[in-house]
A and B are shown apart, each in its own frame.
Chain A
């Protein structure tokens, strides 16, 4: 999923300052799972902003709504009937959600309430970790299901570097050394010899070589 965290409330208040009628727009997908922009968080943020507005004697209306997926047009379209009553949309979607809403409604300013972070997993309650770069050419087979591009601080394809000590990364002992994990897993499967090969330079063209990426699937088009 895509993870995100809410921006500081003062930064959000700064961005909404010019507007009187604001729609706080949550998203029920990834950002709900990471407790940053789901229905609950949207209600909490809207309420905090209303309270701050009242305490500062500001004349501001802040309503809230959450759609299931802010990055998919079929869901965004639910806003057609209500957007006329607002000066701006404060989106609690990820960066993709913010821009999908902006694309659909070019006439209304849209403000991001979150800092979108990474593609990751929920490791535990309140604990999310990055584990995919979206490189466009998955190599997880070779590395025992641990991605060195996303999880090694130096993105080393032929690791580990000289900073791996007791299974920890030199950048921060809180970070497990991805290469120790790779070696441990491949050892378990009797596949450590996979690491005798030198992995050639990564083909980054699959990620950023032709500018922003798109996927076109004719079989999925009507």
Chain B
């Protein structure tokens, strides 16, 4: 089996990277993952597997990544610091590397109060930047937190997230700089609907030379309906959906709204492709993995590069 990060290869060779998202089921059926794998397989370079997203208990990200790996995909293990302390996180990094998982995305995680285990203890022993730094130390120095040697070092392409739409804007760039300094090889952003704000954030990041120090993948999410657009605007914090996008969805007949959502998403990707500082796109089609191939096709992202397997 190929144990190199497909995403890393595409990006290092100057390609426009494409990633998608796969949410594990609230159940123990491997087939759910394998079906999603089939939908995503030739449409993207790598697939993020969410880690108990919105604090709802689901099949573990590590297990679902192993299933994707077995099906020939390049998984990105999302790891949130909400549920595990530094002992468990480092242990899972070693386990992931041993399973041939080559990408990790380090996140804070949605607060436990939003999920179905609101009485759970939030761990937050490390924060997301410290997790990036920890994985980098394990990989590059072969050390654990505190300096103890491990052998052999895990082989991991390290990712982090950035939200250009949260406040305060100027400090968002400082935080991006900290993530890069900590060791983020690639960055995936929050869903982009407000291109103006995204571009002002991007130009501030470029001014600090940050866009040259990491691979920046712009996040996009196809809207399924006007209702979903309004819900995301009103209820998902740090989500910025301008009125013209909402109006465009509302002005479309219900039965055509999915198509319109895909169209908006494709237009966003085409604009992102024009920006030299953007090295790829992360398509988060929430519980709508079947849309990813169509979006990639229409945005001219197919076929994905294939490398010789040794």
Interface residues of A (CB under 8 A from B): 153-167, 170-171, 177, 180, 183, 195-196, 198-202, 204
Q: Is the CB of B175 closer than 8 A to any CB of chain A?
A: yes
Among B81, B129, B134, B238, contact of A163 (Cβ-Cβ < 8 Å): B238
Chain A residues lying within 8 Å of B167, measured Cβ to Cβ, are: 160, 164-167, 177, 180
Chain B residues lying within 8 Å of A201, measured Cβ to Cβ, are: 86, 125-126, 130, 134, 145
Q: Is the CB of B108 closer than 8 A to any CB of chain A?
A: yes
Chain B residues lying within 8 Å of A167, measured Cβ to Cβ, are: 167
Query: Cβ of A170 and Cβ of B175 under 8 Å apart?
Result: no
Nearest B residue (CB) for A177: B167
Q: Is the CB of B50 closer than 8 A to any CB of chain A?
A: no
The residue among B82, B127, B182, B190 with the most chain A CB atoms within 10 A of its own CB is B127
Chain B residues lying within 8 Å of A195, measured Cβ to Cβ, are: 171, 174
Query: Cβ of B111 and Cβ of A154 under 8 Å apart?
Result: yes
Which secondary structure dominates chain A's binding surface?
loop
Q: Is the CB of B28 closer than 8 A to any CB of chain A?
A: no
CA distance A112 to B109 in the complex (A): 36
Report 29 cross-chain contacts, Cβ distance below 8 Å, ordered by A residue.
A153-B111, A154-B82, A154-B108, A154-B111, A154-B122, A155-B124, A156-B124, A156-B127, A158-B128, A160-B171, A161-B108, A161-B128, A162-B162, A162-B163, A163-B111, A163-B237, A164-B167, A177-B167, A180-B168, A183-B168, A183-B171, A195-B174, A196-B177, A198-B129, A198-B130, A200-B133, A201-B126, A201-B130, A201-B145
Query: Cβ of A158 and Cβ of B166 under 8 Å apart?
Result: no
For chain B, the bracket of interface size reads 20 to 34
Query: Cβ of A157 and Cβ of B127 under 8 Å apart?
Result: yes
Q: Is the CB of B181 closer than 8 A to any CB of chain A?
A: yes
**What 1/0 mask marks residues of chain B from 190 to 209 whose CB sits below 8 Å from any chain A CB?**
10000000000000000000
| A196-B238 contact, Cβ under 8 Å, with A155-B124, A163-B166, A171-B111 | no
Chain B residues lying within 8 Å of A196, measured Cβ to Cβ, are: 174, 177-178
Q: Is the CB of B161 closer than 8 A to any CB of chain A?
A: yes
The residue among A158, A160, A162, A204 with the most chain B CB atoms within 10 A of its own CB is A162
Nearest B residue (CB) for A196: B174
Chain A residues lying within 8 Å of B177, measured Cβ to Cβ, are: 196
Q: Is the CB of B113 closer than 8 A to any CB of chain A?
A: yes
CA distance A198 to B190 in the complex (A): 22
Chain A residues lying within 8 Å of B175, measured Cβ to Cβ, are: 158-160
Chain A residues lying within 8 Å of B145, measured Cβ to Cβ, are: 201
Chain A residues lying within 8 Å of B111, measured Cβ to Cβ, are: 153-154, 163, 170-171
Q: Given A154-B108, A160-B171, 6 more contacts at CB 8 Å?
A: A159-B175, A162-B162, A164-B168, A165-B237, A195-B171, A201-B126
Chain A residues lying within 8 Å of B82, measured Cβ to Cβ, are: 154
Chain B residues lying within 8 Å of A160, measured Cβ to Cβ, are: 166-167, 171, 175
Chain B residues lying within 8 Å of A159, measured Cβ to Cβ, are: 127, 175
- In order of increasing CB-CB distance, the 9 nearest A-B pairs are A162-B163, A170-B237, A158-B129, A155-B124, A156-B127, A162-B238, A163-B237, A162-B166, A161-B108
Chain B residues lying within 8 Å of A198, measured Cβ to Cβ, are: 129-130, 133, 178, 181-182
| A171-B238 contact, Cβ under 8 Å, with A180-B167, A195-B174 | no
Nearest A residue (CB) for B126: A201
Among A162, A177, A200, contact of B190 (Cβ-Cβ < 8 Å): A162
CA distance A20 to B166 in the complex (A): 59
CA distance A78 to B174 in the complex (A): 58
Query: Cβ of A165 and Cβ of B127 under 8 Å apart?
Result: no
Chain B residues lying within 8 Å of A157, measured Cβ to Cβ, are: 127, 130
A84 to chain B, nearest CB (A): 42
CA distance A38 to B296 in the complex (A): 67
Among A153, A162, A164, A171, contact of B161 (Cβ-Cβ < 8 Å): A162
Chain B residues lying within 8 Å of A183, measured Cβ to Cβ, are: 168, 171
